[in-house]
Amino acid sequence: MTGFRSPSSGLRALRPAAFGADPSGERMARIRRSPHFKNGVFQNPGGTTGTRPSGSAVEFAKLYFDKEERARRAPEGTVPVHPTTLADIARPPATGLRLTWMGHSSVLAEIDGQRVLFDPVWGERCSPFSFAGPKRLHPVPLPLAALGPVDVVVISHDHYDHLDLPTIKALAGTDTLFAVPLGVGAHLEHWGVSADRLRELDWHEATKVGGLTLTATPARHFCGRGLRNTQHTLWASWVVAGDEHRIYHSGDTGYFEGFRDIGAEHGPFDATMIQIGAYSEFWPDIHMTPEEGMRAHLDLQGGQPHGVMMPIHWGTFNLAAHAWSEPGEWTLAAAGAVGQSAAVPVPGQPFEPAGDLPTRPWWRDVSQPLNREWPVPEITSEITTEATRDDLDLVGEG
């Protein structure tokens, strides 16, 4: 019949563009061939992972909507933002490595002459809708167009607070490449990124961009953007290695033993960007607390303090029931307990890990004080660096 549309085609027409697209064709065939795809879904390292809140929904709702607790989940004043300009980042970093945290998990890394942009989210809300969903607690430090050329955009997974439709559409108009986990390319192609600009990787696969090697490494998380989560797109952490420097971006992940393996194969790192926010006892498998994040950093560095740890995935969006400033306070306590250098820049503040680090707890100017003891990691003798093992071998030989 002329003009007839099936109910399913009508529903597809109503599907928000931000939902993206499901993998199909050769992309889906490649997903099925992945050793990490079993029983129709991608599998996490370390066994079964709970991706939905555990425990009592009533208890969770009581905590989340408590009036006093809700007040603590947002800053009391204006969040300071460094007004990043192109002048701030126009000169090459003196040490060859400079990081600029743009808020949440978005980081511009200038490394060995290349510019890498991790998980760029310039949108006002991490949501498929412009009128609902978690809204920014501070503005972006600079317009995306003022960022200058980017060699490669790296995406950790397809959740809205890491893969942002308006940001990707803006970047699609440039000539940047995109490095993404397996399956995520379907979203980007749907939004106008040409296939020849995609580097779509499974865990342990690598690609070259200029003088950099980008490797997708395991993470413990999940995926999904639409109403029906098919678990057909992968999530990843990322290693970026140049001739002189190595950095690591965790994406979203729960703590797991695999950090030691990543560190042994790809480390040590000059800097790590580690997720330490939006954690909860209701979803302990998929996000890390600051104590776990610091343990992950130490694992990545062979078990001893090394390089610089920068906390990410906090301060920009209200995504969990903990106090807004808690991740910052807890990270500083965890770093101090193990003697690890930590950088806590205000959003938009460039710094070089080998130079002066931003360490001032700026959030205290705009948040309620938190007076509590923080669980912190310990350096144990179970993990030793290669250098320490070599020293021990020499002692044994003597």
Q: Is there a contact between 178 and 170 (Cβ–Cβ < 8 Å)?
A: no
pLDDT exceeds 60 at position 253: yes
Q: Report CA-CA distances (Å) from 43 to 223, 244, 258, 263, 284.
A: 11, 34, 14, 21, 17
Query: Would you state the pLDDT for residue 86?
Result: 75
pTM summary value: 0.90
**Mean pLDDT taken over the chain:** 88
- Give 214-225 pLDDT, tens digit per residue: 999 999 999 988
Are 252 and 162 in contact, with CB atoms under 8 Å apart? yes
The pLDDT of residue 231 is above 90 = no
More confident residue, 327 or 232: 327
Residue 313, judged by CB atoms within 10 A of its CB (0-12, 13-18, 19+), counts as: buried
Q: How many separate helices (H) and strands (E) can be counted in the chain?
A: 11, 16
190-195 average pLDDT score: 96
pLDDT on residue 361:
97
Q: What is the DSSP string of 298-338?
A: HHHTTTS--SEEEEES-SSS--SSS-TTHHHHHHHHHHHHH
SS3 208: strand
What is the arithmetic mean of pLDDT over 257-269?
98
Looking at residue 226, its pLDDT comes to 73
Q: What angle do CA 336, 80, 293 make, to 5 degrees?
A: 35
**Residues 273, 154, 315, 292, Cα dihedral to 10°:** -40
Give me 203's structure tokens.
Answer: 């865990």
* More confident call, 185 vs 89: 185
- Name the band, by pLDDT with cuts 50, 70 and 90, for residue 64: low
Query: Measured between alpha carbons, how far is 212 from 222 in angstroms, rounded to an integer?
Result: 27
* Residue 298 or 65, more confident: 298
Q: What is the pLDDT of residue 104?
A: 98
Q: What is the percent of the chain with per-residue pLDDT over 90, rounded to a whole number?
A: 75
Res 90: pLDDT: 84
Average pLDDT (286-301) is 98
Task: Judge contact between 334 and 81, C-beta under 8 A.
Answer: no
For the stretch 297-346, pLDDT in tens is: 999 999 999 999 999 999 999 999 999 999 999 999 999 999 999 999 99
Q: pLDDT tens across 24-53, in order?
A: 999 999 999 999 999 999 999 987 776 665
Q: At what angle do helices 290-300 and 326-338 cross, to 10 degrees?
A: 40
- Scanning the chain, the segments in alpha helix (DSSP H) are 7-14, 25-33, 57-65, 67-72, 86-90, 165-172, 185-190, 258-266, 290-300, 326-338, 386-397
pLDDT of residue 56: 53
Q: What is the pLDDT of residue 286?
A: 95
pLDDT (0 to 100) of residue 387 = 40
Q: What is the largest CA-CA distance in the chain?
A: 90
